[in-house]
Amino acid sequence: MKKLLLIFLPVLLMLLPLPARAEEEAAFDMQKYIFAHIQDSYEWHITDIKGKTIAIPLPVIVWSKTAGFHCFSFHHLEEGECYEGFRIAQEGESYEGKVVEVMPDGSISRPVDISITKNVVGLMFDAALLVLLILLCARWYRKHDVLKEKPTGIAAFFEPVIVMINDGVIKDVIGPEYKKFSPYLLTAFFFILINNLMGIVPIIPGGANITGNIAVTAVLAIFTFLMVNLFGNKHYYKEIFWPDVPVFLKAFPLMPAIEILGTLTKPFSLMIRLFANMLAGHIMLLSAIAVIFLTAKMGPVINGSLTLVSVAFGIFLDVLEVLVACIQAYVFTMLSAVFIGLAHQHPEHE
């Protein structure tokens, strides 16, 4: 207990000047604070120092029929400025917080927006990191004779994980045809895992809520949907369009309709599960930390003690999030494998 106090005391002392500052500022808007962290944005917000925002503006890339193709840095649009006919939609307007095109008649319309946002930068970094790590690992296997050497370095780190997913999940669930799908499922697993883990790292280039964004999970779910339905066998399609049920259920296409809906709900559930889990984790963590700022005005005693609680709870949640990051990557991979396996069942011989 004494040791714990020794660790937290400096943290407490560092937070002492906070109340003094908080009084000058407006009331802490928890919702705004949380949403700012979990949503995508056109800049990478690092910190505020003495009320001055430190953020990296990211490139805005937009295209519209009237204005054509535009690419410029976000700092041109800061504080509602209009640049090249584009501005950020203000509170109360439609498309709030997004880049909109200002039409000649003063109305606004949403252009095709493929800006490199915070999540895109995070994705790019994580993807590059993942490719680098896995290719380095593959390089080890190319350069060494596996029959004579045991894996060392990066290969020793990745091999057990790859073997666990490949043999323990993919092979067991899909069956004899697993080899065709194991590159996709392994890619999905490591892609989700690295993005989940980087989402927990609070400093740039981590901390972007990537897998807690529905667009990201939607794309992953679509890939799984394609993997399931493009390579399904005859039996799988027969079960969808002409299942073994009385004819009146098939002729009036009730069963096929349900089955087709079923093929869509499977990836949909994948999308929602990953999105909701990661988003909830981020919100929980941010809420725990927000306690510090919420109690800033309540005096040093309450603030200090609650800071202690909040930091302890934050550490707990962080550890929990690491666990959740691994579990969600595992679950996504396993369920994808299950759905692929279902599309490769062979009819029961009667």
Partner 1 sequence: MSLITPSFGLLFWMVLIFGTVFFLLAKFGFPVITKSVEKRSNHIEESLRKAEEAQKKLESLSQEQAAMIEQTRLEQGRILKEAAEARDKIVAQAKVQAQEEADKILEHARIEIAAERESAVREIRSQVAQISVEVAEKIVRKSLETPAEQAALIDRMVDEASQARKS
Q: Give me the torsion for CA of 75, 81, 85, 90, rounded to 10°.
A: 110
Question: Is 101 a binder of partner 1 (CB under 8 A)?
Answer: no
Question: Is 115 a binder of partner 1 (CB under 8 A)?
Answer: yes
Question: Is 5 a binder of partner 1 (CB under 8 A)?
Answer: no
Which residue, 12 or 116, has its beta carbon nearer to partner 1? 116
Measured from the CB of residue 119, what is the shortest distance to partner 1 in angstroms?
Answer: 6
Which residue, 181 or 236, has its beta carbon nearer to partner 1? 181
Which residue, 105 or 145, has its beta carbon nearer to partner 1? 145
DSSP-assigned letters across all residues of 67-97: TEEEEEEGGGGGGG--BTTEEEPPTTSTTTT
Please work out the total of residues on this chain that contact partner 1, with binding judged by CB under 8 A. 51
With a CB cutoff of 8 Å and minimum separation 6, the contacts of 298 are 306
Distances from the Cα of 163 to the Cα of 148, 155, 159, 187, 260, angstroms:
19, 11, 6, 13, 34
Query: Mask: binding to partner 1, 227-266, rule CB under 8 A, as x and -?
Result: ----------------------------------------
Identified binder of partner 1 from the candidate list 100, 108, 123, 228, rule CB under 8 A: 123
Q: Hey, which residues between 269 and 288 contact partner 1 (CB under 8 A)?
A: 279
Which residue, 157 or 316, has its beta carbon nearer to partner 1? 157
DSSP state of 178: G
Round to whole Å and give the CA distance between 339 and 332. 11
Query: Mask: binding to partner 1, 13-42, rule CB under 8 A, as x and -?
Result: ----------------------x--xxx--
Cβ pair 62, 112 in contact under 8 A = yes
Single-letter amino acid code for the residue at 234:
K
Round to whole Å and give the CA distance between 236 and 238. 5
Q: Hey, which residues between 128 and 157 contact partner 1 (CB under 8 A)?
A: 130-131, 134-135, 137-138, 141-142, 146-147, 155
Cβ pair 310, 296 in contact under 8 A = no
Residue 119, token pair as written in the block = 């999540």
With a CB cutoff of 8 Å and minimum separation 6, the contacts of 103 are 66, 109
What are the residues binding partner 1 (CB under 8 A)? 35, 38-40, 61, 96-98, 112-117, 119-120, 123-124, 127, 130-131, 134-135, 137-138, 141-142, 146-147, 155, 158-159, 162-163, 166, 182-184, 186-187, 190-191, 213-216, 218-220, 223, 279
